[in-house]
Amino acid sequence: MKVLSGKAAFKGVAIGKIREFGQKKVEVNKTSVSDAEAEIARFEAARDTASAQLGALYEKAVADVGEENAAIFEVHQMMLEDEDYLDGIKGMIRDDQVNAEYAVSVTGQNFSEIFAGMDDEYMKERAADVKDISARVVRILAGVEEGGAAMDEPSILVAEDLAPSETLQLDRSKVLAFVTRKGSTNSHTAILARTMNIPALVMVSDAVEVDGKMGIVDGKEGKLIVEPDEETLKNYQEKLEAQKKEQELLNSLKGRPSVTKDGRKVNLYANIGGVEDVEAVLANDAEGIGLFRSEFLYLQSNDYPTEEEQFEAYKAVAEKMNGKRVIIRTLDIGADKQIDYFELDKEENPALGYRAVRICLNKREVFKTQLRALCRASAYGRIAIMVPMIISVWEVQTVKEILEKIKEELREEGKEVGEIEFGIMIETPASVIIADELAKEVDFFSIGTNDLTQYTLAIDRQNAKLDMFYNAHHPAILRMIKMVVDAAHKEGIWAGICGELGADTTLTEEFVNMGVDELSVSPAMVLPVRNKVVNM
Partner 1 sequence: MKEFSYVVQDELGIHARPAGLLVKEAAKYPCDITLKCGEKKGNAKRIMNVMAMGVKKEMEVTVVCEGDQEDEAAAALEAFFKENL
Residues with active-site annotation:
188, 498
Q: Does 380 bind partner 1 (CB under 8 A)?
A: no
Q: Does 372 bind partner 1 (CB under 8 A)?
A: no
Give me the sign of the Cα torsion angle 179, 280, 376, 520. negative
Binding region for partner 1 (CB under 8 A) out of 50-58, 118-126, 144-152, 255-263 = 118-126
327-366: contacts with partner 1 (CB under 8 A): none
Among 63, 118, 150, 242, binds partner 1 (CB under 8 A): 118
Instruction: Name the residue among 448, 489, 496, 510 with its Cα closest to residue 269.
Output: 496
- Judged by CB, which is closer to partner 1: 211, or 307? 307
Min CB(121)–partner 1 separation in Å: 10
SS3 272: strand
Q: Does 191 bind partner 1 (CB under 8 A)?
A: no
Q: Does 130 bind partner 1 (CB under 8 A)?
A: yes
H or E, element range at 88: helix 83-96
Q: Yes or no: say if 89 and 43 are a contact pair by the CB < 8 Å rule.
A: yes
Among 123, 150, 249, 259, binds partner 1 (CB under 8 A): 123
Min CB(119)–partner 1 separation in Å: 8
Give me the sign of the Cα torsion angle 498, 500, 503, 506. negative
Calpha distance 219→238 (Å, rounded): 15
Calpha distance 262→438 (Å, rounded): 31
- Judged by CB, which is closer to partner 1: 128, or 527? 128
- Judged by CB, which is closer to partner 1: 123, or 352? 123
Q: Yes or no: say if 427 and 435 are a contact pair by the CB < 8 Å rule.
A: no
What is the distance of C-alpha 269 from the center of its chain?
Answer: 15
Q: Does 120 bind partner 1 (CB under 8 A)?
A: yes
HSE toward the beta carbon, residue 488, CA cutoff 13 A? 28
- Judged by CB, which is closer to partner 1: 73, or 444? 73
Min CB(137)–partner 1 separation in Å: 15
Calpha distance 337→323 (Å, rounded): 32
Q: Does 74 bind partner 1 (CB under 8 A)?
A: yes
- Judged by CB, which is closer to partner 1: 124, or 182? 124
Q: Yes or no: say if 97 and 33 are a contact pair by the CB < 8 Å rule.
A: yes
- Judged by CB, which is closer to partner 1: 104, or 514? 104
Q: Does 136 bind partner 1 (CB under 8 A)?
A: no
Q: Does 207 bind partner 1 (CB under 8 A)?
A: no
Among 126, 181, 329, 530, binds partner 1 (CB under 8 A): 126
Q: Yes or no: say if 94 and 36 are a contact pair by the CB < 8 Å rule.
A: yes
CA distances from 369 to 33, 314, 330, 331, 467 (A): 65, 13, 11, 11, 41
- Judged by CB, which is closer to partner 1: 233, or 275? 275
- Judged by CB, which is closer to partner 1: 246, or 308? 308
Look at strands 2-5 and 223-226 and give their pairing: antiparallel
Q: Does 71 bind partner 1 (CB under 8 A)?
A: yes
| Contacts with 24 (C-beta within 8 Å, 6 or more apart), sequence order | 139, 144, 145, 146, 147
> One symbol per residue from 438 to 457: x for binding partner 1 (CB under 8 A), - otherwise; what is it?
--------------------
Instruction: Name the residue among 373, 54, 20, 74 with its Cα closest to residue 211.
Output: 20
Binding region for partner 1 (CB under 8 A) out of 15-23, 117-125, 208-216, 397-405 = 117-125
Binding region for partner 1 (CB under 8 A) out of 22-30, 46-54, 110-118, 368-376 = 110-118
Min CB(410)–partner 1 separation in Å: 17
* DSSP secondary structure, 228-256, as one string: --HHHHHHHHHHHHHHHHHHHHHHHTTT-
Q: Does 186 bind partner 1 (CB under 8 A)?
A: no
- Judged by CB, which is closer to partner 1: 166, or 287? 166
Among 56, 114, 242, 259, binds partner 1 (CB under 8 A): 114
| Helix segments in 300-417, DSSP class H | 307-320, 357-362, 364-377, 393-412
275-314: contacts with partner 1 (CB under 8 A): 306, 308-309, 312
Q: Does 79 bind partner 1 (CB under 8 A)?
A: yes
Q: Does 35 bind partner 1 (CB under 8 A)?
A: no
Residues that bind partner 1 (CB under 8 A): 68, 71-72, 74-75, 78-79, 81-85, 111, 114-115, 118-120, 122-123, 126, 129-130, 306, 308-309, 312
